[in-house]
Amino acid sequence: MEMLTSSNLLPGFSDPVIDSQSTFRHVLQAMSHPGRVISFETSIQAPPPLYSTTAAICLTLLDPETPLWMDRSEVCEVREWLRFHCGCSWVDSPSRANFGLLTQGFQECLIDQFPIGEEEFPERSATLLIQVMGFRSGAGRFLKGPGIKTEERLEIEGVPETFWKAWKRNQRLYPLGIDIFFISPSALVGLPRTVEVRE
Amino acid sequence: MRGPLKLQPKMKSKSVPLQEGYNFAYLDEGTKRMIRRTLLKAIAIPGHQIPFGSREMPLPLGWGTGGIQITAALIGPDDILKVIDQGADDTTNAISIKKLFVKTTGVQITERTEKATLIQTRHRIPETPLKEGQVIIYQVPIPEPLRFLEPREPETRKMHALADYGLMYVKLYEDISTHGRIATAFMYPVLVHHRYIASPSPIPRFDNPKMDRMPALQLFGAGREKRIYAIPPYTTVKSLDFEDYPFEIEKWDQQCALCGSRESYLDEIIKDDQGGRLFVCSDTDYCQQRREKGKNASPSEVVAMKAVRRKKGDETT
């Protein structure tokens, strides 16, 4: 493994307190208004393949208490960067992860492996951060549920049909299930387990 | 670990200088992250109580430490904070909490409900309807609605897991058989998103209907009991009742002695030792705004309000 040196490590937030606070408010907004495209920008320089937006969300939510599973864990820069700035521990299996970081978009073989919580502790489920190309609101599928006034329409670029089938399975588990944040280079969309999707 | 974080110059310092030696909004960043993660899960499972690592605060437990910790995890330099205690902006609990946040964040404080971005409340929901984008943070003493019926935590947890809420309906039924009506006046249990029974914190049941499909985000923090739960915007919140004994809110024969409102929740104030009493709005901001409007109102309204004041023997305002 490449040694960690100060020369190849990118910096984190310039102001950790205020930047993580403002990032969190975007994340909170996305979670409380599912399906709504929350645009947000950050000046952070992220190690590829992380988007700067994903990097900001990682810095805001991850720390030594959150075991992380990532799809491209062989990318040394990302590992070192997250380890240095968040101090998070890595797990080899999605089933033990608290957070899942999917930098290459949705992969169906993975989705059923993350923890969905327990009957008495439904909150012990994974939160997935999935990187996608972009969003189109006002087109695509219809979303309904808490946080949505009447109905929200959303199309996620680069997410295959199989995702929505997997989401139906997840929806049936309620109150268990995973929660997802889709992250594009300039925006994010929250998809908590309560969201019902219709074509 | 990082050393103590220095307060950054870009934070607005108002008339009160920021307290040195404390992190922004008092809590350390690790605690804020833990509370933030808990809040996200709480929103994803509306009405479900989630344990969290409640911290020692510079106020005693029972003074709103749960609410304060949520506010501290949310607040930023651009927020406008309103804190109320039983509807009033100017009582001890509200003042001390506001002082804590002014000293540690320098945020702007307001009493106007519609101007606030964060509203921390003890036991009331403002009369002015809340809007989308606002966040209301409740201080909760006892988060478990089933606690008085079943003291054992493992049992109540199982009841929530199985949505086995028969006991709660038996309690309401016993109310009816004893008093002829559901006698619960505050902390009236609600069913959130058709799944979890939750405590609305000790708000009067008058406020319960405001929770249903509220456009603002509702967050609940119990510091002593170490629980956080949430109700996202536009979520169905149903006050429990029976078909033949539907849920009803309190009504008064009186109107507010100061602003004449017949729609708001009234507090009874004892005036003297002769049995003299006065009913006034519990929501001080709502009452104040109505009175200000009354000054510029059309003559007929002014006359009507003066008549009200004379009737109540209160010409001081």
Q: Under an 8 A CB cutoff, do B77 and A175 touch?
A: no
* Per-residue pLDDT reduced to its tens digit, B155-180: 999 999 999 999 999 999 999 999 98
Q: Under an 8 A CB cutoff, do A32 and B11 touch?
A: no
Q: What per-residue confidence (pLDDT) applies to A39?
A: 92
What is the count of residue pairs from A and B with beta carbons less than 8 Å apart? 111
Is the pLDDT at B226 greater than 90? The verdict is yes
Which of A22, A66, A123 lies nearest to residue B45, judging by beta carbons?
A123
In A, which residues are within 8 Å of B77 by CB distance?
A: 18
Is the pLDDT at B13 greater than 50? The verdict is no
Is residue A97 in some structural domain? yes
Is residue A180 in some structural domain? yes
Q: Alpha helices, DSSP H only, in B180-261?
A: 208-211
Which of A22, A28, A63 lies nearest to residue B39, judging by beta carbons?
A28
Is residue A111 in some structural domain? yes
Dist. CA A143–CA B77, nearest whole Å:
33
Is residue A11 in some structural domain? no
For residue B317, what pLDDT band results from cuts at 50, 70 and 90? Answer: very low
Do A179 and A127 touch, CB atoms closer than 8 A? yes
**Residue B313 a catalytic site member:** no
For residue A5, what pLDDT band results from cuts at 50, 70 and 90? Answer: low
How far does Cα A106 stand from its chain's mean position? 11
| Catalytic residue of the set B87, B223, B260, B287 | B287
* CA distance to partner chain B, nearest, from residue A116 (Å): 12
Q: Under an 8 A CB cutoff, do A147 and B233 touch?
A: yes
B82 vs B21, higher pLDDT: B82
* CA distance to partner chain B, nearest, from residue A143 (Å): 13
Is residue A40 in some structural domain? yes
* Per-residue pLDDT reduced to its tens digit, B299-311: 444 455 555 555 5
Is residue A7 in some structural domain? no
* A20 contact B CB<8A: yes
Is residue A10 in some structural domain? no
Q: What is the mean pLDDT of chain A?
A: 90
Q: What per-residue confidence (pLDDT) applies to B192?
A: 96
Question: Quick one: average pLDDT of B84-108?
Answer: 92
Helix (H) or strand (E) holding B173: helix B166-179
The total number of structural domains in chain A stands at 1
Q: What per-residue confidence (pLDDT) applies to B289?
A: 93
Dist. CA B286–CA B292, nearest whole Å:
10
Q: What per-residue confidence (pLDDT) applies to B183?
A: 86
Question: Quick one: average pLDDT of B37-56?
Answer: 96
Is residue A123 in some structural domain? yes
Is the pLDDT at B97 greater than 80? The verdict is yes
ipTM: 0.94
Is the pLDDT at B213 greater than 80? The verdict is yes
| Catalytic residue of the set B21, B47, B53, B180 | B47
Structural domains of chain B, with CATH = 9-146+186-239 (3.40.50.11310), 266-316 (no CATH)
* CA distance to partner chain B, nearest, from residue A192 (Å): 5
| Catalytic residue of the set B67, B221, B223, B259 | B259
Query: The domain containing residue A152 runs over which residues?
Result: 16-191
In A, which residues are within 8 Å of B23 by CB distance?
A: 17
Q: What per-residue confidence (pLDDT) applies to A75?
A: 75
If one counts every other C-beta atom within 10 angstroms of the C-beta of residue B167, the result is 14
Dist. CA A62–CA A125, nearest whole Å:
15
For residue B316, what pLDDT band results from cuts at 50, 70 and 90? Answer: very low
* Per-residue pLDDT reduced to its tens digit, B113-165: 999 999 999 999 999 999 999 999 999 999 999 999 999 999 999 999 999 99
Q: Under an 8 A CB cutoff, do A174 and B195 touch?
A: yes
Is the pLDDT at B196 greater than 60? The verdict is yes
Question: Quick one: average pLDDT of B200-219?
Answer: 95
Q: What per-residue confidence (pLDDT) applies to B296?
A: 55
* A157 contact B CB<8A: no
Write the DSSP symbol of residue B162.
T
In B, which residues are within 8 Å of A60 by CB distance?
A: 33, 36
Q: What is the pTM of this model?
A: 0.90
* B46 contact A CB<8A: yes
* CATH label of the domain that carries residue A137: 3.40.50.11310
Inter-residue long-range contacts of B109-114, CB under 8 Å, 24+ positions, other chains counted: B109/B80, B109/B81, B109/B82, B109/B83, B110/B80, B110/B81, B110/B82, B111/B82, B111/B284, B111/B285, B111/B288, B112/B82, B112/B285, B112/B289, B113/B82, B113/B285, B113/B286
Q: What per-residue confidence (pLDDT) applies to B68?
A: 96
**Residue B259 a catalytic site member:** yes
B298 vs B188, higher pLDDT: B188
Q: Under an 8 A CB cutoff, do A146 and B193 touch?
A: yes
